[in-house]
Amino acid sequence: MSLVKKSLAKTASSVPASTEIHAPTAAVDNVQANAPVTNNEQKEYPFFVAAIESDLAQLKTFTDIADKASYKSEALKRNDYLGYIKRYRLSGQNHHNTVLAWVFIWLVDLKRWDDVLELLPLMVEQKQPLPTVFNTKHWPAFVIDQLYDDANYYLSQSEQAGLFTISFVLHRLITTVKNQDWTGLEVVGGKLYAMAAKVDASIHNYGFAAAFAEQALAINDGAGVKGLLKDLQKLLKQSEPEQAVDAD
């Protein structure tokens, strides 16, 4: 049994059973039906904080990245962190949540992009703080940096399967942050669209690649894709069907 489950079980066993004989009123029923999720989240949170702190301490004992990844993956299941986060979201709670922050970081490390992109809007909306060990204070920037490194690797290896996968993830991320104001974050925004342009160009998705390159330069003129955009515009022009000339 995990640390969290043991703690919650101990707490549950210490709660006295009700001795009330008559049935509760409808008003009480309504309150009880609507309140438990929030109340449970408040009660659960300290136990999950203790669990994540224990896991973080354990992670410091590993030096191998693969061992750390394996431990994170096992800890996510063992302590059911994602189940807790689901309850936190449903509860309507909004507070600085250490558990949510670290679990999100682990999901990025483990490249579980579906979970990452599902939670990213919540991280931004609630303005969850990144742990102080990270230089950036911006969740999209954190995700972009990780995806940028992955995309660069696939580009350097010309690994087509990886490029198609990372292209799909980049498209989803761009959709997620489409309303993002990049003021003060021009380098980060330009980086996202520039990498998307390079990846799509590498898999011959020239229309998207050109559009992303244009957006990258609109955000940051120094995004480094001016030459790529010119090449893409030439390719796209060459692929246009010739217009038929009307005979007199």
Which among 187, 233, 237, 188 is positioned nearest to 209, based on CA atoms? 233
pLDDT < 70 stretches in the chain:
1-40, 242-248
The pLDDT value recorded for residue 19 is 43
Q: How many residues does the chain have?
A: 248
The pLDDT value recorded for residue 85 is 97
What's the rounded Cα separation, in Å, for the pair 124 and 119? 9
Which of the 8 DSSP states describes residue 74? Answer: H
For residue 191, the surrounding DSSP H or E stretch is helix 186-202
Which among 235, 201, 236, 237 is positioned nearest to 216, based on CA atoms? 201
What's the rounded Cα separation, in Å, for the pair 200 and 166? 9
pLDDT tens digit sequence for 198-220: 999 999 999 999 999 999 999 99
What's the rounded Cα separation, in Å, for the pair 137 and 143? 11
Q: Can you give the pTM of this predicted structure? A: 0.81
The pLDDT value recorded for residue 11 is 47
The pLDDT value recorded for residue 240 is 77
The pLDDT value recorded for residue 239 is 82
